[in-house]
Structure 1
Amino acid sequence: MKVLGACPLDCPDACSWVVTVRDGAAVELRGNKEHPITRGALCVKVNRYLEQVDSPERLRYPLRRVGAKGEGRFERISWDEALGEIAERLTGIVDEFGGEAIWPFHGTGSLGYLQGLEGYAGRRLFNVLGASLHKATICSIAGTTGLKYTLGGSGGMDPEDFAKSELILLWGTNPLTSGHHLWKFIQDSGAYTVAIDPIRTKTAERCDEHLAPLPGTDAALALGLLNVIVGLGAQDQEYIDTHTVGWPEFRDRIAEFTPDRVAEITGLPVASIVALGERIARTRPTAIRASQGIQRHAGGGMALRVLACLPGVTGDWAIPGGGLHYSTSGHFKLDEPALLRMDLLPHPVRTLSMTRLGEALTEIDDPPVKALFVIAANPVGSNPDQNRVRAGLAREDLFTVVLEHFMTDTADYADIILPATMQPEHLDVLAGYGHLYLVWNDPAVAPPGECLSTTETFRRLARHLGLTEPALYDSDETLAEQLLAGYDTARLRAQGFLKITPQPVPADKLQFLSARALAAGHDPLPGYTPPADPGDGLVLISAASHYFLNSTFGANPELRRRSGEPRVTLHPRDAAAREITDGTPILIANDRGSFEAVAEVSDRVRPGVAATTKGRWAKLSGGSTVNATIAERDSDYEGGAVFHDNRVRITPLRASADVTDSAASAMR
């Protein structure tokens, strides 16, 4: 038997897949050949997904903590015991502190609308309890907000139109590692490709040209390219006059960013800036692909504003194969209010920022966070300021419930662990943020042990709490129908995927001068916001791994073997200045924390920049990871994360016993 499903992981491709079931077991997983994006291929990570499903390390029964927080010692209990204890603790917390003392902390371990997706799963129950709202700031919020200031929405161009492009700028993105299906359309185009990235990634190696600006200077580079284009008189004046607002003011802003000034900011040669500007000026259509990493710094939202303006100046927004693709999420018009049911809140409640977890758990006291539900998330592995997050999770007065598949670094701090189903075991609906397809996931096999879907877990918890609101007991099928109101659900389920009709881009006129940004207290004109890390040393980028997806697969034995030991890449000049050679054990540290790795000396990174990958589990990596060095600090818009606005000191571990001792202390 073959069952249609969909990959739930935090990747733009949201692949449609086919599960082969034999004697009740999933025996094969393949990409759906019929899906126009997936085209039968999955990635190197998801090809091993059934290993995750069948892993002997998978959690199969509810557990209660019996050791100290962080030790990871638990005993098996029944579902009735687990839910009974949770209900009792939540009732007491609500009575004493109010519902806002409960924080449902959602991650991107599943992007399914029913079983995961940053704030959807369980939200109805938490609304009835009056719990705090969860603001998903860790991924793309700054860039999305910036695009809305410029375009009126954040949908961008249809990625399939990259096949029609003549020039493609891959700006701060590495699709061969993160969302490789786009590469097929790039190849189909035959376009001249330019990678703009401080690292010579797998993608950059395949491009016709590679520019390596200093991290966080992308907006300045884009303004410099516009300066060249306007200097040549190559702007599309007809498009500007008809479809934009604020051109005279923005033209003056562009004039400030001469190639000489931009070269000083970005560290790029003047000739490279001028040459690329001239190429853009004479090439239609030009398409830009920018992904989430480009906006994880102090000026991340502003960077996306400027990038969205570039095809407004050249008129590429009006040409198939031209424009900007960041995320297609803004094109999907699902009935999210019907799914979330915010009307069930008894009163307005506070909102807590995902990337400020450590601060919230250690400082907020009005009311304090007394109960934390961790859903599809591993904040010890994925959040900034790892040591502060651990300190918060170690509070004895914090009641922590974790819904999980494996004993992650975060699960070690739980009071109760609830075993969750995986994708072949439950129903779900997904929307790709790298394409325009809804994807349906049917359950293919029964879950192992006593694993329950997230939706069923919250239905049962509602019963233990004695809640009578009918909406808390809607079936998964009913939830899907409510979400998909207006779409052909029967066709979607039968075919496994359904392409939607995109929204117009820009939504109205492109806003070179944004009244919406001004009303929010920001510069009404797109500009350049410099990096803001006050530390010294090298700028450390923690990019996506080819073998892990965030911290998913971080414990998979084969993928860990392929990824090798933790490494940090330094330019030969920076390595020599620190007496570091290839293979040297090193300590990477700043005032927030430290971690250990092995040096890789290579010109794949530019001088002044060091690079590593995210997604490792701390307890499998010497006790600490790169996130111990990253600040709980907001970017320019909506509290976005600043993972790539991070300065560190790098020293050989052999240089000083004191350095080694300090590293061990930081990991405790």
Structure 2
Amino acid sequence: MLTDVFFERLGASRVAGCLCDDAGISACIADFGSLDHNDIRDLINARWIVNWGRDPSRSSIHVAALMLKARQRGAQVLTISPGGDASIEYSDIMVQIRPGTDRFLAAALIKLLVERGRVQQEIFDTTYNWDLFRELIYNHSVYELSGACGVSEDDMERVFSFYARSDPVATLIGYGIQRHLYGGENVRFINALALVSGHMGQSGGGSYFNISSLRNLNTDWAKGAGDIQRRTFLFPTIGQDILEANDPPIRMIWVNGTNVVNQAPNSLKIADAFAAADFTVVVDAFMTDTAERANLVLPCRLLLEKEDLVGSYLHNFIHYVRPAVKAPSEAKDDCSILSEIGKRLSPPVLLPDTEDCLQASLASPFLETTLDGLKRKGFAEAKRAWIAYEGMVFAHTDGKYRFPMELHTEPVPPTGYPLRLLTLVRKEALHSQILPELHDKIPTVWVANNNSMLQDIDISLDIFIASPLGRLKVELKTLPGLHREALVYRRDDWIRFGGGVNQLIEANLTDMGNCAPFYQQYVRLEN
């Protein structure tokens, strides 16, 4: 937060939007009025769990442990996914879906629940716009909706049998669901299904997307007066935004805590934007694809080398981070770096020290601890309701739930690019935090055994994946259970080692939340 404080005082341009989860966050706020879910430990009370696209083996290992515990207590897990993950190890039933079309399956199930009389009428009293939403749903047949998502009639009935239960059903929503053009809409229809089926506001039920990692901390101390006019650029389109800025043009870029050239769409456009600036500073511990394009690299301390507070997107505990190893002498924490620069400016920009920032952050109505107490114990649990929206009372001013009012058709693939590129997370690394010696010589991609493009590929020649932005040399493998329209690439390898799949992904925005629709990109295989 100190970085934001520092540059707000300078009146510098800022970055908004997100590469991660803002489409889903905006969807949940639109539906419920806030971003919340049951305490994650309540998941073990679910009798039935529907997992929409999470890969517990790679990106949700804490949830995976709870899913296994729930199964040991008798719960059954149904996973909906295009494939390409290890969810089968955590699931009793697998349902394959066409990538990016989850909203159509959820809409079909809502219609079936209503038509078959499986909805408690009092649920509608807790909603604001049921009649209009019902009209939207009834403009489409179940046959049309199931065709749009590619889910068979038998699989549709399997999912229906879960949501039609009277005992609690928990809904898990993966981040990948909302990394499509209509990602927010996908999440909103899944939330609507959890509500209409009667499984919100109760133990063992609920819809889990995420919570804010800062929600239990006091962040007011980091807010400025708001009287300085600042330009805002969007993270998903940052390269083009920087290049198009002309009033005035961007002359200096400061990057802290992100490998943006590697992680954001249209990587080479971002590299061009860096090259066009007069001076670029990158604060990082490694010579990443972004750091390589800097005029100056300032080495920073890593998480285990500094003092900090850490919240969670999953649970309501705050943890104290104490240095576990000694940092290299040249490496400084963010506070030290910015404070030293601020002192040299005229007029100076003076920042609070680390201890003051930590103490101010703990001055939260949800916490009953001091910094000294937190240092002794190591963690504190925030005071939050165990059940979100208990009694079906939501956070909108009228207490009522809001249904989505649009159901967009899925855009058709562009001519010559039939495969949906799913750039999924790795198991062995967090984003691009991959040591140079651990990179593969050639990136690997996976397609289904029945992928239509396999017959046109000569495996004795070099193989590439290509989009309108370029192409990458790859090793091609097949993966059982993967949807035939999908191509899986385990993302985050570096451009300078022959990877960097975001070079192929066009910069765009999701339907809500200004998020990056990574999975909307289509590609092809070629020699």
Could you tell me the TM-score, scaled by structure 1's length? Answer: 0.73
Superposed counterparts of 1:301-340, under 5 Å: 301-329=184-212, 332-339=215-222
Q: From 272, 277, 283, give the equivalent of 1:403.
A: 283
Matched, 1:597 2:474: yes
Report the Cα distance in structure 2 between the residues aligned to 1:477 and 1:150, rounded to whole angstroms.
38
Instruction: Report the counterpart of residue 170 of structure 1 in structure 2.
Output: 51
Instruction: Report the counterpart of residue 357 of structure 2 in structure 1.
Output: 479
Report the Cα distance in structure 1 between the residues aligned to 2:215 and 2:227, rounded to whole angstroms.
29
Whether the 8 Å CA contact 1:360–1:369 is kept in 2: the answer is no
Superposed counterparts of 1:88-237, under 5 Å: 120-190=1-71, 191-237=75-121
Report the Cα distance in structure 2 between the residues aligned to 1:532 and 1:498, rounded to whole angstroms.
49
What displacement does 1:528 show?
4.1
* 1:119-170 Cα shifts (integer Å, max 9, x gaps): x232222112111122142111111111111000111222111100111111
* Structure 1 stretch displaced more, 442-451 or 141-150: 442-451
Matched, 1:263 2:146: yes
Report the Cα distance in structure 2 between the residues aligned to 1:445 and 1:410, rounded to whole angstroms.
26
Give RMSD over aligned pairs.
Answer: 2.2
Describe the SS at the equivalent of 2:15: strand
Q: Does the C-alpha gap of structure 1 residues 532 and 323 become closer, same or farther in structure 2, counting only changes over 3 Å?
A: farther
Report the Cα distance in structure 2 between the residues aligned to 1:537 and 1:215, rounded to whole angstroms.
12
What displacement does 1:532 show?
7.0
Report the Cα distance in structure 2 between the residues aligned to 1:347 and 1:532, rounded to whole angstroms.
44
Instruction: Report the counterpart of residue 650 of structure 1 in structure 2.
Output: 525
* 1:72-131 Cα shifts (integer Å, max 9, x gaps): xxxxxxxxxxxxxxxxxxxxxxxxxxxxxxxxxxxxxxxxxxxxxxxx232222112111
Whether the 8 Å CA contact 2:19–2:236 is kept in 1: the answer is yes
- Partner AA of 1:202 in structure 2: A
- Partner AA of 2:422 in structure 1: I
Q: From 404, 409, 418, give the equivalent of 2:298.
A: 418
Q: From 233, 253, 257, give the equivalent of 1:372.
A: 253
* 1:338-377 Cα shifts (integer Å, max 9, x gaps): 12x321x652212111111210232221221211111111
Matched, 1:384 2:265: yes
Alignment identity in percent?
A: 25
What displacement does 1:583 show?
8.9
Describe the SS at the equivalent of 1:574: coil
Instruction: Report the counterpart of residue 402 of structure 2 in structure 1.
Output: 512
Describe the SS at the equivalent of 1:547: coil
Describe the SS at the equivalent of 2:435: coil
Report the Cα distance in structure 2 between the residues aligned to 1:639 and 1:334, rounded to whole angstroms.
25
What displacement does 1:295 show?
0.5
Could you tell me the TM-score, scaled by structure 2's length? Answer: 0.92
Superposed counterparts of 1:24-43, under 5 Å: none
Report the Cα distance in structure 1 between the residues aligned to 2:519 and 2:409, rounded to whole angstroms.
14
Report the Cα distance in structure 2 between the residues aligned to 1:133 and 1:412, rounded to whole angstroms.
22
Matched, 1:636 2:511: yes
- Partner AA of 1:429 in structure 2: L
Q: Does the C-alpha gap of structure 1 residues 576 and 134 become closer, same or farther in structure 2, counting only changes over 3 Å?
A: closer
Superposed counterparts of 1:443-462, under 5 Å: 443-462=323-342
Matched, 1:295 2:295: no
Report the Cα distance in structure 2 between the residues aligned to 1:420 and 1:264, rounded to whole angstroms.
51
What displacement does 1:576 show?
5.6
Whether the 8 Å CA contact 2:448–2:484 is kept in 1: the answer is yes
Whether the 8 Å CA contact 2:447–2:487 is kept in 1: the answer is yes
Describe the SS at the equivalent of 1:288: strand
Report the Cα distance in structure 2 between the residues aligned to 1:446 and 1:643, rounded to whole angstroms.
38
Q: Does the C-alpha gap of structure 1 residues 613 and 324 become closer, same or farther in structure 2, counting only changes over 3 Å?
A: same
Describe the SS at the equivalent of 1:282: coil
Describe the SS at the equivalent of 1:250: helix
Unaligned runs of 5+ in 2: none
* 1:164-190 Cα shifts (integer Å, max 9, x gaps): 011111112112101201112112212
* 1:580-624 Cα shifts (integer Å, max 9, x gaps): 47797421111112211110122331111111111101111x2x4
Instruction: Report the counterpart of residue 521 of structure 1 in structure 2.
Output: none
Q: Does the C-alpha gap of structure 1 residues 576 and 541 become closer, same or farther in structure 2, counting only changes over 3 Å?
A: closer
What displacement does 1:309 show?
1.5
Whether the 8 Å CA contact 2:25–2:513 is kept in 1: the answer is no
Whether the 8 Å CA contact 1:127–1:346 is kept in 2: the answer is no
What displacement does 1:501 show?
2.6
Instruction: Report the counterpart of residue 492 of structure 1 in structure 2.
Output: 374
Report the Cα distance in structure 2 between the residues aligned to 1:628 and 1:352, rounded to whole angstroms.
20
